[in-house]
Homo-oligomer: A and B are copies of this chain.
Amino acid sequence: MNSTTFPDSDAAIVEIKHQYHALFEPSSVAIVGASPSPLKWGFRILLNTKLGGYKGALYAVNPKHKEIIGIECFPTITDIPGELDLAVIVLPPQFVLESIRECAARGVRACVVITAGFGETKDSAAHLSQEEMARIARDAGMLLVGPNCAGIASPDPHSLYSGMVYRYPKSGGFSLVSQSGNVGMTVLTWAELHQVGVARFVSSGNEAVLRSEDYIHFFGHDTRTKAILAYIEGTTDGRRFFNALRETTKRKPVVVVKGGTTSAGQQAANSHTGALAGPTPLFVSACRQAGANVAEDFYQAMELTSAFVNQPLPRGRRVVIVSEGGGWGVIGADACAKAGLDLIPLPEGVLQELDTILPGWWSRGNPIDLVAGNDRTMMTRAIECVLKCPEVDAVLVLGVGYMSSRAAEMHRVPELAEMGMGKLIDAACDVELHEVRKINSLIDLYDKPIIVASDTVLLAYGATPNAAIREMERLGVYAYSSPHNAAHTLENMAERYEYLNNIPRK
């Protein structure tokens, strides 16, 4: 049994970090059960590790081959020269135990067991095998991830992407533990699309040894991790899980997505990971009490985690909306109000300053409607005017990147080129790029969050990428496609601020 509490002495933490570095920052990796057949997982795991550009020593293990897709192949783990930090095991189930024994004997420091067919099945022999694999790993002091998992990733420092997941997001502060491989894949896909930087990803599988709470605890002490997302279907030891959560949320934000919140979902979770889901309302309220943010939808959860990494917390719920369009402003106001955020009336000083920035007929209210002018600097001037006001905790910006979006269309018109308009269009796009960078710098300057939502995101990654949106996301300012999701993030950031400062939650 694992202990219900976690060590917290400095020496113990150093030891834990040292152990987990074998998993996330290995200098050498062996793919055991690597295969040259593209239909096999042993092929894909090797391929993905290679495509991910792993910078350490990469080996394949398969007695029938000398080399697979350019990677040197050894008959057994024992034949690999030198130290071996990590073994990723993709063998058929009947060979897994023997391989883990070999790893233990060889002094391998960490194992990731991709192979399924153990504790998640109804077969008692398979359950016994899983227990045996846990015993061997524990006795050898070897970390063990899985079995029945989709692998791990850690872009920094060695560009490790070793799993089923053929996605290679850049490095950053977002860490993820998922009890589902395909939810993990969704997160990595989303992160790659939106240029969200990832610190660590682990698919925890059947959790024979390492459980969700172990990763959460490590992430809490991990220098690279700034915020944590956990997809949880069930816990083996609730007390231990909530202990880890309570300790970690003091240090870093943890966003929990609970799978199996209905009886239909719980049944599905049972047959999926064999996890025994407890009564959900209790689980969710216990998560909140332990200081975690709980999201129902995993897109909202990803967006929130990313905001925790990249944005300062609002010091209250007072929000001003700056909008490029009336309808989005209305919907944004609704979304904020429903989320328990306060759309404050604009203070007199702010009104007066905005009168000098905006056209005469502006609405003098919150949302601030920019009335679709041609001056692309109007938006950031309005944002700064609002953001520096001490009565404002956060700004929600609706509509960014319209010039870049329009430019693609305008470049299609030969008459415009003949008129020499190309340069004018490009200049307007440059101004917009500059404004996007300014938004990013204002967040830092005033230490307040600016949440941006825009429909230009929809086509931002298509045939004609939106340069403004891409630049903004490159800088770490995520572009929400809907005011609802943006308000959800702001609400949860305010919740975390209230939690950290013992303010009764709304």
Q: Of B269, B330, B461, which contacts A330 at CB under 8 A?
A: B269
Query: Which of A134-142, A292-300, A442-450 lies on the face that meets chain B?
Result: A292-300
Q: How far is the CA of A412 from the CA of B482 in the complex (A)?
A: 34
Residue A382 interfacial (CB < 8 Å): no
Q: Which B-chain residue is minimally distant from A40 (CB atoms)?
A: B374
The contact string, 1 if C-beta is below 8 Å from chain B, for chain A 438-459, is 0000000000000000011011
Does the CB pair B186–A413 fall under 8 Å? Answer: no
Q: Give the chain B neighbours of A121 by CB distance below 8 A.
A: 361
The residue in A38, A327, A410 that gathers the most chain B C-beta atoms within 10 A of its C-beta is: A327
Per the bound structure, the CA–CA distance linking A123 and B399 in Å amounts to 28
Please name all residues of chain B whose beta carbon is closer than 8 Å to the beta carbon of A330 when the two chains form the complex: 180, 233, 259-260, 265, 268-269, 272
Let me know if B189 and A299 touch, CB within 8 A.
no
Interface centre among A48, A69, A186 (most CB of B within 10 A): A186
> Which secondary structure dominates where chain A touches chain B?
helix
Within 8 A of B (CB), among A450-506: 455-456, 458-459, 461-463, 481-482, 484
CB contacts (< 8 Å) of A297 on chain B: these are 482, 484
Q: Which chain A residues numbered 239 to 298 have a C-beta less than 8 Å away from chain B?
A: 259-265, 267-269, 271-273, 296-298
Query: Does B337 lie within 8 Å of A262, measured CB to CB?
Result: yes
CA–CA, A146 to B472, complex, Å? 35
Known: A334-B264, A415-B70. Contact between A369 and B299, CB under 8 A?
no
The answer, among B190, B262, B412, B458, for a CB contact under 8 Å with A333, is B262
Q: Which of A23-31, A217-225, A383-391, A418-426 contacts B (4 or more CB under 8 A)?
A: A418-426
Q: Is A6 located at the chain interface by the 8 A CB criterion? A: no
Q: Which residues of B contact A459 (CB under 8 A)?
A: 189, 192-193, 461
A314 at the interface (CB under 8 A from B): no
- A365 an interface residue at 8 Å Cβ cutoff? yes
Contact yes or no, A410 B47, CB < 8 A: yes
Q: Is A326 an interface residue (CB 8 A)?
A: yes
Residue A338 CB within 8 A of the other chain: yes
Q: Say yes or no: A268 contacts B231, CB within 8 Å.
A: no
B38 near A259 with CB under 8 A, answer no
Q: Which residues of B contact A264 (CB under 8 A)?
A: 333-334, 336-337, 343
**CB-CB contacts of A411-438 with B at 8 A, as 1s and 0s?**
0110110010100110000000000000
Does A183 lie at the interface of the complex (its beta carbon under 8 Å from any beta carbon of B)? yes
A8 to chain B, nearest CB (A): 32
Inside 8 A of A325's CB, which chain B residues have their CB?
180-183, 185
Find chain B residues with CB under 8 A from A405 CB.
166
Nearest chain B CB to A324's CB is how many angstroms away?
A: 7
Within 8 A of B (CB), among A317-360: 324-334, 336-338, 343
A77 to B192, CA, bound (A): 53
Within the assembled complex, what's the spacing in Å between the Cα atoms of A132 and B273? 69
Q: Are B299 and A263 in contact (CB under 8 A)?
A: no
Q: Mark A159-203, 1 if CB is under 8 A from B, else 0.
A: 000000010000000000011111111100110110000000000
A463 to B361, CA, bound (A): 42
Q: Report the Cα distance A416→B298, complex, angstroms.
A: 35
Complex A-B: 28 CB contacts under 8 Å: A38-B425, A47-B410, A166-B405, A166-B409, A180-B326, A186-B327, A186-B328, A189-B456, A189-B458, A193-B459, A259-B331, A260-B330, A260-B334, A263-B337, A264-B343, A265-B331, A265-B334, A265-B337, A267-B333, A267-B365, A268-B367, A269-B330, A271-B363, A272-B329, A272-B330, A272-B369, A299-B482, A461-B461
Question: Contact residues of A with B, CB < 8 Å?
Answer: 36, 38-39, 47-48, 50-51, 69-70, 117, 121, 166, 178-186, 189-190, 192-193, 231, 233, 259-265, 267-269, 271-273, 296-299, 324-334, 336-338, 343, 361, 363, 365, 367, 369, 374, 399, 405-406, 409-410, 412-413, 415-416, 419, 421, 424-425, 455-456, 458-459, 461-463, 481-482, 484
